Amino acid sequence: MSRVAWVTDPHLDHASPEALETFQGELLEARVTGVIVTGDIAESIGLQRYLDWFREHCRGDLWFCLGNHDFYYDSIDRVRATAAAWARETASYYLNIAEPMEMAPGVGLVGHDGWADGRTPSYERSLVFMHDSRLIADFAGQDKLTRWETMKRLADESANWIEQQIVRAAERWRTIYVATHVPPYREACWYNGEISDDHWAPHFTNVAFGERLIELADRFPQHRFHVLCGHTHGGGSYSPQANLTVETGAAEYGSPRVTRILEW
C-alpha cells in the first residue's frame, strides 16, 4: 500500500520553531512513503531553505507545486527556474516540469502551479487588491487591467500543461490525481465554511484550468480525476461531475499541518 501525505499552504516561514517541530513530528508519525505539497511553501527568499526542510524531514518522495506566496519578492520565471534546479539536484519532483508519475498501481499524479485568472464573476468589479500586485515582479507597476492579462496568460499556460499531462497519464492509469495551488472552480473556493464572495472569487479561481478539466473528464469518462488544491485556506470539496472531484485544503498561518493522508 502507498501512503502519501498531502500538505497545502504550510507557509513555513510564518511558523515558529515550536510549530515546525510539531509539524515535523506529525510527518514522521504519519509513516508515509512521500509528500505532495500544493504551494505556498515560503516566500521566495526562504523557498530553497524550506524545500530543504521538507527534503530533510520527509520520508520518501517529494512532489510539489508553487503558490503565489512562493514568488513574493522575485519574478515568476526566476523562482520557477530555482525550483526546477533544486528538484533536479535533490531527486524531487516539481510538477511544472515533471513527467506523469505512478503513485500506486492504476493511480497517477500530474500537476502545475496554476494561477487565478479573474474570469469569475467579474475581475473588473472586484475591490480586492492582492499583495501579489506589489510583491511579485511580474505584476509590480502594472495597472489593474494589465495585471489581469498577465493572470489570464499564466492560467492559460497551466491549463495547456495539464491537458498534455492528463492525456499522457490517461494512457497508463484510470485514477489520476491533479495537484495545483488555485481552486479550478468558484464552488471550490472555501473560506470559513462558505464560498468566496464576488470580490474574492476572481483572485481565488483558475477558470481556464477548471474548464479544461471538464473537457478532459468528458473525454475520458471511464477515468476518475481527483484535484488537490489550496490557496483560500478554507477546506471543502466539490464535484462538478461524477468522475471529477476537487478537494480544497484548509490552512492556518503559523500552524503547518498534514492536510490529509492519501492511501492506495
Residue 23 backbone phi and psi in degrees, to 5? -65, -40
The string of pLDDT tens digits covering residues 149-182 is 999 999 999 999 999 999 999 999 999 999 999 9
C-alpha cell of residue 133: 500586485
Residue 142 backbone phi and psi in degrees, to 5? -85, 150
DSSP bridge pairs for 61: 34
Between CA 45 and CA 103 the distance in angstroms is 31
Residue 56: the pLDDT is 95
Residue 156: the pLDDT is 98
Between CA 262 and CA 264 the distance in angstroms is 7
Ranges of the chain with pLDDT below 70 = none
Between CA 231 and CA 69 the distance in angstroms is 9
The Cβ of residue 63 has, within 10 Å, a number of other Cβ atoms equal to 24
Superfamily in which the 3-263 domain is placed by CATH: Metallo-dependent phosphatases (3.60.21.10)
Residue 139: the pLDDT is 97
pTM over 0.95: yes
